[in-house]
Each structure stands twice: as structure tokens, then as C-alpha cells.
Amino acid sequence: MAFEGLAEKLQSAFKRLTGKGKLAEKDIKDAMREVKIALLEADVNFLVVKDFIKKVSERAVGQNIFESLTPGQQVIKIVNEELTSLMGTTQSKINFSSNPPTVIMLTGLQGAGKTTTAGKLGMIIKKQSKNPILVACDVYRPAAIKQLQVIGEKVGIPVFENGQIDPVIIAKNALAYAKDHGFDVVIIDTAGRLHINEELMQELKNIKSEVKPHEILLVVDSMTGQDAVNVSETFNHQLGIDGVILTKLDGDTRGGAALSVKAVTGKPIKYACIGEKLDEIEPFYPERMASRILGMGDMLSLIEKAQNVYDEKQATEMEKKFRTQQFTLEDFLEQFQQIKKMGSIKDILGMLPGMNTAKLDGINLDEKQFSRMEAIIKSMTVEERRNPSLINGSRRKRITNGSGTKIQDVNQLLKQFDSTKKMMKQMIDMDKSGKKGRMKLPFMQ
């Protein structure tokens, strides 16, 4: 989960505040000292930390929170607002041109995940009823063009390439091609270097001068912390960027990049890559990220994830099966496969209010359980899936042999299935007894 270490330390610091009925000025100073240490350990820019602590302290003391009925929560509210402000206050979107095609130029150092991000960005833009094309302008890294072509094929977006000629000419030709063939978004994957040098910057400036991009987005590895901020500052100074895309936000991210980039460069984080899969990219919402860091949940993102994997027809059909008691193990498997598409269970639980990192550490989250469940159900006959009561001892043994699991795993699955049916029957009974409103299935909104 993103910012896990930072989130745990901040939540621990504020837990002591919320446990007190009244706060003294010393309580706030002590809490701010812990917050300062946590932010510095997360590799947040020192000047950013200093300014952040100053703002929070001034607001906390200046709002007479000591007389508040919930002073601890008032402090957390202030911290939440200042964290949100630090990361940009509101979501920053792509500025699409009123005169297509919109040209988006991706820049960054080698190893930041620029080529993969080009495909991810193309995929999320395509979902907005756009017709994007990817452009291969990295002519130096071995197999970079082939990599982009493979990614383009996976996400269903064409790739324009001219071989290993001058990247400026490639970009120019790609723009002309896009205009002639009706592509309304051009995403240019430029070359990177292991470090910033004059040759790299001059090439990027030449491409910028030739195609005049509407958006220059810098792709940075969020795991590099303060180094990512330094890179962002340099690229912005020499090239002029419009926003940042953070990659590897699902890894061992300390938080320094996300909490410093906007304050240092003045440029917003527009997207965050939250996994290696090509669909694991999402718009960056500062207020939602701040809430997650402070253990306040992120229900809006959770709802959006659910909406992306459930359509209205599926939901209606599944609800009908619950109501008519026709819910089978095949449906059970489908439900868990839908949940799996939403991301890791730990990330999903982390979006629930009050589910902080300490609580998650105490829960045994076996991500491989989905695979075991799928193997078990697929090892059953059609009759067994539709009528689990048929599964006796010999059938259990056959199913375990076919799925490579244990008898206990099969028993646990059947028990979970029965529990789910009972729970849904209770919900239906409540609905029939006069409770108004359409029944909602788990993870449906």
C-alpha cells in the first residue's frame, strides 16, 4: 500500500492526540515533532516539511482547538487539509486541445517506466472516447521500439515508428500521420538517460519546438524519493513541464516524491501508476491520498473501482439470483474474480475508513486464496458447482487432486459459500420486511 510507513507513523502520532479529552500546547508541539520526523524519514523535501509544520502549528494554535469537544480530530482535520494543499488541492486533468490532435510528450530518466506509462496513459485516455496513437521516439535504448509495439498491441492502440532516425523527424512525421488518419491524441514516448545531461535536454527541446506539445508530462519513479523531486525541478526549469506521472506507487514508496513535487515545482501530479499491469493507472486526487495517509479511507476511489468492474446488467442478474436462491459456486467465483480486478485486498481494505496500516498488519491477507478458490471450483463438475450438496468425501478427494489443494481448502471454500448465501438471505429477508431501497451486493455502489 502506498506510503505505508509514513501512514503508520502519522496515525500513531495522532492516536495519542485523539485519546485525550483536552490538549495542551505541549501536546501539539510533541505531535508536530513526530510528524516532522516521519515526513523527513519519508524523504520529503526539508523546506517543504518546515513550511508544512509551520502552517499546521499556526492553524492549530490559532483556532482555539483547546476548547473544542474533539481537539484531536480538529488537529487531524487541519493536517488533512494541509496535506491535500501540499499535493495540489484538486485533481489536475489533461488539457485536451479544441483543435485535435492533442500532443502529449512524455519525458523522464531511463528506468522510470516511461514506455509502459505511455501505454497506460493511452489506455486511460482511450476510455474517455478518444482515439490515441503512440509514437516511438526512443531510438537509443535497445528494443525500446519493440517494447512500445508490444504494449500498444496489448492495449489496442496503434504505434507510429520510423526506425532509428532523428527523433525530431519521427515526432514531426507522427503528427502529420495523426492528422491524416483521424487520431485525436498523440502520445510521444521520448528517450531517457541514466542522468540529466545537455544532449538529452537539447533533444527534448528540439522535439518540443517542432511539434509544440499541449502537455509535457514528466514520468518519475516515486521510489526514488527526494531524487525524483530534484529530477522534476531540473526538467521543469530546463524544459517546462505541465505535470507529473508517478510510477511504482504500489512499491516501497516513502512518500517524498508525492508530497514534495507540487510544492517544489509548482506542477501537479496528474496520474499515479499503482501496479505493473497496464490498467493499473489512476488520476491523482490529492484529497483522497491525504485521507488514505491519515487512515480516513478513500471511499470514492473504492466506489469507482467497483463501478469499473461491475456493469448494471451484471449487477441486476446477480441480484436476481440472490433473491431467487439460485446463487451457485460459479457465481461465487465470478464475484471474487470481479473483486480481484479491483486490485489487492490490502489496497481495497486500506480504502475503508478506520482501516489503518496497523490493523491491516494484524490481518492474514492471503492473496493466493483467489487462485486456490478458482482452481478448486474449476476442478468440480458442472453439477457440483450448481449443487454443492453433492460433494461427498470421494468427490472432495477428486477435487483436491485436480486442484492441487487440501481437503481443508475445499471445506473452507464450501463453508464460505454457505456463509455468503446465508448472509444474502438475511439481507433479502430484511428487504422484504419493509426496508426500502434496492439491495446492494458486496462491493457494489
Bridge partners of 105, per DSSP, are: 188, 216
Q: What is the DSSP string of 52-66?
A: HHHHHHHHHHHTTGG
Tell whether the torsion through CA atoms of 344, 346, 349 and 353 is positive or negative: negative
Closest Cα to residue 3, out of 232, 267, 266, 246?
A: 246
Give the model's pLDDT for residue 440.
43
Does this model's pTM top 0.75? My answer is no
Tell whether the torsion through CA atoms of 346, 350, 351 and 354 is positive or negative: positive
Q: Quick one: average pLDDT of 331-350?
A: 68
| Cα–Cα distance measured from residue 335 to residue 331, given in angstroms and rounded to the nearest whole number | 6
Q: What is the pLDDT of residues 15-60, one digit of tens each?
A: 777 766 667 788 888 888 988 998 888 888 888 999 999 998 888 7
pLDDT confidence band for 443 (50 / 70 / 90): very low
Cell of 62: 490559532
For the CA atoms of 417, 316, 336, 365, the dihedral, rounded to the nearest 10 degrees, stands at: -90
Q: Percentage of the chain with pLDDT > 90?
A: 35
Q: Is 209 helix (H, G, I), strand (E, B) or coil?
A: helix
Q: Is the peptide bond before 388 cis (omega within 30 degrees of 0)?
A: no
- Domains annotated for the chain, with CATH where assigned, are 4-87 (1.20.120.140), 102-296 (3.40.50.300), 302-432 (1.10.260.30)
Helices (H) and strands (E) in the chain, counts: 20, 8
